[in-house]
């Protein structure tokens, strides 16, 4: 029994030893962008493998072959694969480009500025051979025909041109034949959609005869129609105050600009007492003429009953209305001067 067992052990050892002494290589580790042909799971000592660079990568240096050595290690390769680059793109006239890199598989996006259209590919890609997929696009201006001209008007171009086509941005200034008035945009140009901007109209503008104002007068007497931009001046009768512009103008719309008004003077509506006006005091019966102009201010006197002192309270004439402050008390007709708030100590 024992001899046969030891024989078996010897046989097993004999089988095992050659296997362990002859080592194999695993898959070689590959650097960035590297490739190899006929990948196997295991390689025997002496096996030779040729490394290469993948599409889009170019070899820079070093030998390409590695050998599986008896110790189960691959020899070192100094091959390096670097990404291929495409040429640096030129700037796009009247447009923009967007890109992050110019290496294999990078893309460039192109766009054109307003008023320009893109001719060609809007996106190009850097291919494995280091060439761009398409030539760069161009931006060509939008074109328009000739501008619309208003009846009884014309356009004066910004610069000379011939033919029946204009390009984006080209423009001019419209004019109307006098006495017609230009209503709308004075400027016109070829716009982004290939059409000219909306032309103006040439119209005859008249305003009906201007109307009088109360308590005032106009500098004209003829009741005729007036033309665009004609003016009329207004004035006010004595003691009346002009509120608003002195002059009105016939507008594009055929209406007059806002008319002024003549504001009415005020009467000081108290029978007795003293007032303060323009820094001076007056007994009302001596205030002649009893009249202050629109916008002017005067004061009446009120009594502080607790402190037994007088004080002036001001009020303003607004278009014929002068509100007497509520604290004012009209003295009786047999009043004693010395007791009036205007005559006693002031607060
Ligand atoms: C190009 O445009 C595409 C689609 O709009 C976008 O996904 C991509 O990020 C753009 N590329 C660059 C480089 O801007
Ligand atoms: C522009 O003029 C050319 C000849 O000069 C003519 O063939 C063409 O039809 C014209 N185009 C327009 C839009 O009028």
Domains located in the chain, CATH noted? 23-83 (2.10.70.10), 95-141 (2.10.70.10), 144-203 (2.10.70.10), 206-263 (2.10.70.10), 274-339 (2.10.70.10)
Helix, strand, coil percentages (3-state) for the chain, rounded to 5, are 5, 35, 55
Token readout for 22 is 């002859």
Asked if 290 contacts 273 with a C-beta cutoff of 8 angstroms, the reply is no
CB 144 within 8 A of CB 190: yes
What letter does residue 18 receive in the DSSP assignment? H
Best substitution site from 163, 164, 166, 196 to test ligand 2's pocket, by max atoms within 8 Å of Cβ?
A: 164
- As given in the structure block, the two tokens for residue 150 are 């208003």
Q: Is 100 in the pocket of ligand 1 (CB under 6 A)?
A: yes
Give the nearest ligand 1 atom to 123 CA. Answer: 1
Q: Are 216 and 233 in contact (CB under 8 A)?
A: no
Tens-level pLDDT at each residue, the chain (347 residues)? 444 544 444 444 444 444 445 689 999 988 889 998 778 889 999 999 999 999 999 998 778 899 999 999 999 988 999 999 999 999 999 999 999 999 999 999 999 999 999 999 999 999 999 999 999 999 999 999 999 999 999 999 999 989 999 999 999 999 999 889 999 999 999 999 999 999 999 999 999 999 999 999 999 888 899 999 999 999 999 999 999 999 999 998 999 999 999 999 999 999 999 999 999 999 999 999 999 999 999 999 999 999 999 999 999 999 999 999 999 998 887 777 788 999 999 99
Q: How far apart are CA 343 and CA 336, in angstroms?
A: 10
What CA–CA distances, in Å, run from 152 to 114, 181, 292? Answer: 33, 10, 55
Phi and psi for 14 in degrees, rounded to 5?
A: -60, -40
- Quick one: which ligand is closest to 100's CA? 1
CB 249 within 8 A of CB 230: yes
Secondary structure class of 337 (helix, strand, coil): helix
The whole-angstrom separation of Cα 166 and Cα 205 is 33
Alpha-carbon distance values, 119 to 108, 192, 267 (Å): 15, 16, 82
- Ligand 2 contact via 278 beta carbon (within 6 Å): no
Alpha-carbon distances of 291 from 29, 122, 200, 326, rounded to whole Å: 111, 82, 54, 20
């Amino acid at each position: 029994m024992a001899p046969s067992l030891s024989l078996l052990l010897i046989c097993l050892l004999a089988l095992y030893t050659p296997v362990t002494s002859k080592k194999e290589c695993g898959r070689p580790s590959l650097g960035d962008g590297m490739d190899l042909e006929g990948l196997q799971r295991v390689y025997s000592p002496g096996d030779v493998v040729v490394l290469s660079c993948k599409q889009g990568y170019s070899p820079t240096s070093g030998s390409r072959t590695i050998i599986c050595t008896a110790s189960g290690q691959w020899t070192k390769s100094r091959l390096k694969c670097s990404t291929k680059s495409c040429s640096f793109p030129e700037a796009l006239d009247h447009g923009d480009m967007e890109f992050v890199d110019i290496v294999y598989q990078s893309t460039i996006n192109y766009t054109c500025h307003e008023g320009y259209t893109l001719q060609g590919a809007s996106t190009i890609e850097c291919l494995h051979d280091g060439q761009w997929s398409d030539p760069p696009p161009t931006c060509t201006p939008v074109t328009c025909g000739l501008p619309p001209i208003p009846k009884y008007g014309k356009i004066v171009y910004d610069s000379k041109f011939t033919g029946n086509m204009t390009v984006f941005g080209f423009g001019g200034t419209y004019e109307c034949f006098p006495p017609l008035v230009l209503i709308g945009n004075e400027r016109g140009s070829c716009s982004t959609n290939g059409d000219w901007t909306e032309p103006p109209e040439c119209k005859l503008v008249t305003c009906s005869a201007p109307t009088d104002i109360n308590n005032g007068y106009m500098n004209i007497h003829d009741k005729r129609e007036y033309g665009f931009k004609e003016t009329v001046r207004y004035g006010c009768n004595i003691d009346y105050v002009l509120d608003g512009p002195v002059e009105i103008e016939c507008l594009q719309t055929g209406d007059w600009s806002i008319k002024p008004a003549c504001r009415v003077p005020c009467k000081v509506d108290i029978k007795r007492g003293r007032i303060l006006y323009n820094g001076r005091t007056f007994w009302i019966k001596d205030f002649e003429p009893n009249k202050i102009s629109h916008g002017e201010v005067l004061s009446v006197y009120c009594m502080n009953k607790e402190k037994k002192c007088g004080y002036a309270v001001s009020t303003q004439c607004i278009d014929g209305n002068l509100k007497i402050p509520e604290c004012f008390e009209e003295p009786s007709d047999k009043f004693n001067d010395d007791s009036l708030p205007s005559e006693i100590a002031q607060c």
